[in-house]
Amino acid sequence: LAPLAALTSAILIALIIWVSRQRMSPRSELQLGLKRNEFIAVYQPIIELASGRCIGAEALARWHRPGGAAISPDVFIPLAEDNNLIEQLTERIIRVSAGELGPLLRGNKDLHISINLSSADMASGHFLRVLQEVLPQAGIAPAQIWLEATERSFIDVERARTILDQARARGHPVAIDDFGTGYSNLSLLEALPLDTLKIDKSFVAAIGQDASTSVVVAHIISMANNLGLAIVAEGVETREQESYLVHAQARYAQGWLYARPMSAEKFTSFLQDNART
């Protein structure tokens, strides 16, 4: 009878959790999720086009809600932003990535992890204090943590410049993310201290589909090359897109053609395979 009682109470507890979650506001649910460490990171390899070598990975947040349906980052990230919780999420992703990939990064100083930042991160700079605490403990060099900020996050350009200057002074490379999707201010590229430009996947998707957009991609790449920025093309899915990008002289690429986002464990074996070939 004991197993039956245990089963019944387990079901009852699951039911209570489920019912209470149904009645929670998105903010409370996010808060609870943060408290319970339900946010994890997956890593998507970034590849050097000329050599095929993996130079690092982008950390992407996932929400593992027990008993709940999967929610895409495109939904929970804006929710966290609107509810003042994004800085806590950024902190969590930094801590998780440093913890999981610390040994890998210590053993390979050429390898990096990219962390996504939102406008609240850019406004407060809290993530810099987190990095300052976490990286020495984990034995990770600042140059191994790249920072990705979108055009949308530069609400206050002066403030953003101050934060990014501090980040770069510490040795963190800085990338402008989703380039081309925001107000695409070309002057932003000169106004801000940047190392890398990530071309949004909507542009990459147009290669071979839409001739005029493909030309824009080539122009963005040549402009970025002229400004001395390294280019990462996002969302590369086909060989056709890849060869266009190689021809246009993009340096790095990221996308399903190479690998989907994966666990730290899978990323470790992905790197071993990548080094062998």
- Span near ligand C2E by CB under 6 A; candidates 6-14, 86-94, 215-223, 267-275: 86-94
Q: Judged by CB, which is closer to Ca ion: 29, or 175? A: 175
* C-beta of residue 250 within 8 angstroms of C-beta of residue 214: no
Query: By CB under 5 A, is residue 100 in contact with Ca ion?
Result: no
Pick what 61 binds: ligand C2E, Ca ion, none; C-beta below 5 to 8 Å, kind-dependent: ligand C2E
Query: By CB under 6 A, is residue 97 in contact with ligand C2E?
Result: no
Number of residues this chain uses to bind Ca ion (CB under 5 A): 5
- The two tokens of residue 193 are 């201290």
Determine which residue in the list 22, 25, 51, 72 makes contact with ligand C2E, applying CB under 6 A.
72
Query: By CB under 6 A, is residue 196 in contact with ligand C2E?
Result: no
Pick what 235 binds: Ca ion, ligand C2E, none; C-beta below 5 to 8 Å, kind-dependent: ligand C2E
* C-beta of residue 76 within 8 angstroms of C-beta of residue 27: no
DSSP calls for 207-237: TTT-HHHHHHHHHHHHHHHHTT-EEEE----
- Span near ligand C2E by CB under 6 A; candidates 14-22, 132-140, 166-174, 234-242: 234-242
Handedness of CA 114, 83, 63, 131 (dihedral sign): positive
Q: Helices (DSSP H) in the chain: which residue ranges?
A: 2-22, 26-35, 73-82, 86-107, 119-124, 126-138, 157-170, 186-191, 201-206, 211-226, 239-247, 264-276
* C-beta of residue 147 within 8 angstroms of C-beta of residue 173: yes
Number of residues this chain uses to bind ligand C2E (CB under 6 A): 23
Bridge partners of 115, per DSSP, are: 147
- Residues in contact with Ca ion by CB under 5 A are 116, 148, 177-178, 234
> Which residues are near ligand C2E by CB under 6 A?
44, 60-61, 72-74, 77, 86, 90, 93, 116-118, 177-178, 201, 234-237, 255-256, 261
